[in-house]
Amino acid sequence: MRIAINGFGRIGRTILRQVMTLPEHADIDIVLVNDIAPLETCAYLFKYDSTFGPLPCDVAEEQTGLRVGDRFIPFLSRDRLSGSEMSGVDVLMECTGKVDTRDTATRGLAAGAGAVLISGPSSFADRTIVIGANDNALGEARIVSNSSCTTNAIAPLLRALQSTVGIERAHITTVHCYTSSQPLVDTPRGNLARSRAGAESMVPTTTSAARELQDIVPDIAGSVSVAALRVPSLSVSAIDVTVQLAAPLKESGQEFVQTLAERTPVIGYTHDPCVSRDMRGRAESLVLALPETQMIGERQLRIFGWYDNEWGFSARMIDMARKITARG
């Protein structure tokens, strides 16, 4: 599989880190990486990462790219990629976070890529697909949104619940680490709470998952509400779910939740009393914390799960690229 990465921020760098360090991705050919930052800066931020630690192989800056271990990765610094640069690319991973028009969404196709995979919600994509929730709807879409990290955590769980006992109603709170969209010090923003220092306070806010679920799980989205809380933690987020089931459980809540995870490839589970730091680098879309499972009566269930909002989401980007390429 031949991929290109446009935008070398948190997700772009994490995707490349996985390709460079995980043996299961040895078949992936990184045709190019494009970012407007200086190559020296890209090399430094790729080699030294505050979340995942130093890259476990050498990184050397060369004239036209980076030498990572024994592999050379071409780098460009373009506002707009051209056809000659994208020739033979199966999937362009659009990781700039700046797909704000249909024109920007289609530029990768115009430049010659077989498909464009957007690393976030986008109303300009042909389809929004979440693996484990609606990936059977991929079809022949050539511009695909991978939705958000939070939606990737929530949607497969909702789909699994709906396909087993059914959902009468549910409320979900995502407890999300701070991101670069928040200021380090109090700074005027449109959202007053989001104008406060992200590493200092817990900040009630909204999440795009509330909107994304309308398209991804439309049969139950009207019965589900979603709220968000940003917390002063560098990485790993969580969802706290209270669901009223459509039918009573025939087993304990913990047994039921474990079975859900075992039936869903992108959901994991743990019996251990973990904290968020323990989940850093987990590739699942969601890791269910079984000790946190609670039942009230036969139909009200509380589920708690962790998700590495960078590593897990980047893993799904690669999985989605494989699904797109496998269509032939």
pLDDT digits (tens, 9 = 90+) for 197-224: 999 999 999 899 888 999 999 999 889 9
Give pLDDT tens digits for 14-64: 999 999 999 999 999 999 999 999 999 999 999 999 999 999 999 999 999
Is residue 317 one of the residues assigned to a domain? Answer: no
Q: Are residues 304 and 159 in the same domain?
A: yes
Nearest to 172 by CA among 188, 185, 156: 156
- Print the domain residue range for 35: 2-119
Interval 153-190: pLDDT, tens: 999 999 999 999 999 999 999 999 999 999 999 999 98
Higher pLDDT, 84 or 166: 166
As a whole number of angstroms, the distance between CA 316 and CA 306 comes to: 15
Active site residues: 149
* DSSP labels, 284-296: SSEEEEGGG-EEE
Burial class of residue 208 (count of CB atoms within 10 Å of its CB; 0-12, 13-18, 19+): middle
Q: Residue 218's domain is classified under what CATH number?
A: 3.30.360.10
Asked whether residue 198 falls in the same domain as residue 259, the answer is: yes
In this structure, the answer to whether residues 167 and 101 fall within a common structural domain is: no
Cα separation, 207 vs 156, in Å, equals 17
| The residue type at 292 | E
Are 114 and 186 contained in the same domain?
A: no
The answer to whether residues 66 and 213 belong to one domain is no
Instruction: Specify whether 204 is located in the same domain as 253.
Output: yes
For residues 112 and 20, membership in a common domain is answered with: yes
Residues 189 and 114 in one domain: no
With a CB cutoff of 8 Å and minimum separation 6, the contacts of 121 are 128, 145, 147, 148, 151, 208, 211, 212
Give CA–CA dist 305/72, Å, rounded.
38
Q: Is there a domain that residue 267 lies in? A: yes
Please give the mean pLDDT across all residues of the chain. Answer: 95
Domain count, the chain: 2
Q: Is residue 126 part of a domain?
A: no
Task: Looking at the structure, tell me whether residues 10 and 60 fall in a common domain.
Answer: yes
Q: Residue 328's pLDDT is what?
A: 67
User: Has residue 104 got a pLDDT over 70?
Assistant: yes
Q: Which CATH number do you get for residue 88?
A: 3.40.50.720
111 and 187, same domain (yes or no):
no
